[in-house]
Amino acid sequence: MSQMARNASLSGFPELLPQERMIEQHVIDSLRKSFELHGFASIETRAVETVEQLLRKGEIDKEVYAVSRLQADEGAAEAALALHFDLTVPFSRYVVENAGYLAFPFRRYQIQKAWRGERPQEGRAREFTQADFDVVGDGVLPFRHDVEIVLLAVEALSALPIPEFRIRVNNRKLAEGFYRGLGLEDTPGVLRSIDKLEKIGPDAVARLLSEELGASEKQAQAALALAQISSADLDFVRQVRALCEQHGVQNDLLEEGLEELSSVLSAAMGRAPGTVLADLSIARGLDYYTGTVIETVLVGHEALGSICSGGRYDALARKGNRTFPGVGLSIGVSRLLARILSQQLATASRSVPTAVYIALTSDQDWAAAQDLAVTLRSRGIATEVAVAAEKFGKQIKFADRRGIPFVWFLNQEGGHEVKDIRSGEQVPADPESWLPPAEDLHVLVQPN
């Protein structure tokens, strides 16, 4: 039974059974391999930040977990601390504090826990793992990194045991330029309203634009019409130009955004046709995004929400007059894992790393069995040794129950035999040369 189907003793803080943890480790190892193949270096930031640092971007203070000692020193002034709710804000601090030690553009990935006091549901836990990858520049960061990040997302997600996915891309410059061309100057406010489109629908968004931002009905409908444009090829350019002509919109920022979004789509069409879509409804509510914005959904699992999101930020990190523009994405490892487990989208070949279980003929063989285990382990074969010379049938049953494929026997003459307990085949074996088949050497995680 999946962990997600069991009742957790503390809601929102999931724990995994060994076989489930194997799948999570496979996902993390696969992502790490993808990131490192592209030259991204791993970092880890502390779990706590000052409350001031955490809350300077966005508005999620109700979800932040504060951290304090049960018995603080009386009269001692201490900065208010909290657990980080994502990895982006800690990373921006990390870049500023370590700028003198980093080579720019700095390519980083980070796979860590985060904490957020949300109402627990599938895909949303209070303690969860994210995998972030970013490229950060010093002063400037060429746009080509935006394209690179999207292509890496395609590659990294394609290697995971998950269903088909769609990466939906927009550009804030395009949207903001269009809104300004319409006469809507509070572009962050318009974007925050458009970001709610899938949750509350177009009529409610139109009311928000009218009541909160003073948009006319014509302006509101034009903003909604832009958000309805979507295509898996460059046809979105034609649709945007037609809408601009209809409403008399001309704006240099819009033109810049159109060009950038076209570059992303062109590259993706060559590498992964149909996987990346231009979707002008994607807004990303946080104000620090300045260009490319991205959300990703699993086909057939859209209700799960975005599994990989982020974008371009030109001023998230600052140090005096120095700015560190960046572009990056965050993959929701725990969100993906929740769906993989609940829908049994993937299976681990066994629940333990062990490939060989050394049985004992007599208790006097235990020392020799330990020496044999050392030999096998030195050759990369995960091995366990029985602790007592019980009946062979009982020892084999123990190995079988844990999914261990091979049982090794030492005979009185010093010979060795190994038994594949699935087929029953038992053959002589040399500890210095025997290897299990490649598919049995390590735990395999495969999509169902």
Indicate the annotated binding residues.
86-88, 116, 130, 134, 284, 288-289
- Per the CB < 8 A criterion, the answer to whether 313 and 173 are in contact is no
For the chain, helix (H) and strand (E) counts, in that order, are 15, 19
How would DSSP label each residue in 326-354? EEEEEEEHHHHHHHHHHTT-EEES-SSS-
Residue 304: helix, strand or coil by DSSP?
A: helix
Q: What sign for the dihedral angle of Cα 132, 135, 139, 140? A: negative
| Nearby residues of 106 by Cβ (< 8 Å), 6 or more positions away | 41, 95, 135, 136, 137
The two three-digit tokens of residue 102, written as one number? 């980093």
161 φ, ψ (degrees, to nearest 5): -80, 65
Give the separation between CA 311 and CA 326, rounded to whole angstroms. Answer: 8
Q: Which residue has the tokens 């009541």?
A: 211
Residue 205: helix, strand or coil by DSSP?
A: helix
| Nearby residues of 94 by Cβ (< 8 Å), 6 or more positions away | 43, 45
Beta bridge partners of 427: 418
Residue ranges at the known binding site for L-histidine: 86-88, 116, 130, 134, 284, 288-289
List helix spans (H) across 290-435: 333-342, 366-378, 392-401
